[in-house]
Amino acid sequence: MSDISFVRTEMLPEQDPPASTVGLIGWLRENLFSGWFNSILSLVSIYVIYVILSGLLSWAISPTWGAHSLNECREILAGLGREGHYAGACWGVISERWLQLMFGFYPPEHYWRVILAFVLVGVGLAPVLFDKAPRALLWFTPIFPFAVAWLLWGGTIWGPLVAMAGFVVGYFAYRFVSGIAGGLLGIIAAFAAPVIWWLFLAGPVAGALGAILPIGIEAVESRQFGGFMLSVTIGITAILISLPLGIVLALGRQSNLFIVKALCVGFIEFIRGVPLITLLFVASTLLNIFMPPGTNFDIILRVIIMVTLFAAAYMAEVIRGGLAALPKGQYEGADSLGLNYWQAQRLIIMPQALKISIPGIVSTFIGVFKDTTLVSIIGLLDPLGLSNAIRADTNWNGIVWEIYGFIALVFFIFCFSMSRYSMYLERKLQTGHH
């Protein structure tokens, strides 16, 4: 028998890995050319990418920024000796109309209001979205929706202030009623009082205050909203409201209270069973039938409500998925420590359920944002609605790819940012190895 005993007398020094596994060569070898079959696949793919890109770039690189009509574009390209159906892109349409694609028919002298409004959205959301943003911004977060609405629509400042007061009304209604009649009635009062306030009292109060102290900026009508600013307004509002609404619906669906549960299930299943476009038609036409004659219920507001409800139903199901994925032990852990229902939901259940649901939630967000283009069908001038108007212009008659390409690019930037953000969030919330 051979000697199997072995004792190491000298420890080996650390060495650099061989060159073929690191650096560019190493990467290429490992990822593109490992084995003959993969090498062939890589070469074929590279060739396909080359063909597509060379065709696309030779079309896209086209000195037509200054053109004022499709014919002018053609002349410029012909002057360069580029002929044929796809001789080159006609970017003149973008440079001439991009402001319109961004702002619709919003008065150009008020563009700054839109820009400021979206900056404020950024400022208001920063402390919610990023740890590193200063915490002091948090006080602005509950205010920014009202500031933004006021900037966009203008008018008297009392409108948003009185609307904000609705929440204060709700708070005091809760304190007052729950003090007298108990928690459940208090919660009902907390919902009912603001609704009554908004529906019946807010208008007259704002009008009266405006008559006493007329502070305001020039009003802009909803008709004048358009382009990406319209999509973003609808999209962001729907996204921001649908998340909390979805959470409430998801919890309601799990509730032990029969009526709450039935209402939530009914709502979710109804909304999910109906195409968004139907809801939008309801918003644009049918809803007026139910309104008292003479009421002017803003069309954009109606659309926002419909899109929000639609998004909330999907959100609720995504979050329910997250709730279902949580082990029962988490509920028991929270219960056994004496946390009450709301504490357990807020501190233990929701943070984890939402974390699990991040990919689904963000998919829903992206879907909602893209679905805002459907409003063009009911006559709102979102980018797609505007593109039809632009193409109907005799100067630009016949243009297709440039406008849609531009719109697609802007949508892509928004959606891709959301998707990157969700990946950042998932990485950030990663704790431990399971």
What is the binding site for another protein (CB under 8 A)? 327, 329-330, 332-340, 343, 347-348, 351-352, 355, 429, 431-434
Residue 296 vs 340, nearer CB to another protein: 340
CB of 327 to another protein, least distance (A): 8
**Residue 209: count of CB within 10 angstroms of its CB:** 17
Of 40 and 337, CB closest to another protein: 337
Beta carbon nearer to another protein, 49 or 429: 429
Least Cα distance to 243 among 129, 149, 376 occurs for: 129
Q: Bridge-partner residues for 155, per DSSP?
A: 217
What's the token pair of residue 211?
């008559």
Least separation in angstroms between residue 363's CB and another protein is 22
DSSP code string of 27-49: HHHHHT-SSHHHHHHHHHHHHHH
Q: What is the DSSP string of 207-235?
A: HHHHHHS--EE----GGG--HHHHHHHHH
Q: Nearest approach, Cβ of 95 to another protein (angstroms)? A: 49
CB of 433 to another protein, least distance (A): 5
Q: Which two tokens stand for residue 67?
A: 């053109």
In this structure, are residues 372 and 307 in contact, taking their beta carbons and an 8 Å threshold? Answer: yes
- Could you tell me if 35 and 29 are in contact, meaning their C-beta atoms sit under 8 angstroms apart? no
Contacts 24+ apart (CB under 8 A), 322-326: 322/352, 322/353, 322/354, 322/355, 322/356, 322/357, 322/360, 323/250, 323/254, 323/349, 323/353, 325/353, 325/356, 326/352, 326/353, 326/356
Nearer to another protein, 5 or 430 (CB): 430
Closest CB to another protein among 79 and 329?
Answer: 329
How many Cα atoms occupy the beta-carbon half-sphere of 122 within 13 Å?
A: 6
Q: What do you get for the CA distance between the two ends of the chain, in Å?
A: 47
Nearer of residues 269 and 335 to another protein, judged by Cβ: 335
Residue type, 25: I
Cα separation of 433 and 425, whole Å?
16
Sign of CA dihedral 422, 352, 323, 232: negative
CA distance 173 to 70: 62
The distance of closest approach from Cβ of residue 334 to another protein in the complex, given in angstroms and rounded to an integer, is 8
Q: Least distance (Å) from another protein to the CB of residue 342? A: 10
By beta-carbon proximity to another protein, the closer residue of 17 and 338 is: 338
3-state secondary structure of 155: strand
CA dist., res. 237 & res. 118, Å (int) = 12
Q: Name the residue nearer to another protein (CB basis): 34 or 343.
A: 343
Shortest distance, CB of residue 260 to another protein, whole angstroms?
16
Smaller CB separation from another protein, 81 or 329: 329
Q: Is the CB of 142 or the CB of 333 nearer to another protein?
A: 333
Q: What is the largest CA-CA distance in the chain?
A: 108
Min dist. Cβ of residue 338 to another protein (A)? 3
Minimum Å distance from CB 429 to another protein? 7
Distance in Å, CB of 428 to another protein, minimum: 12
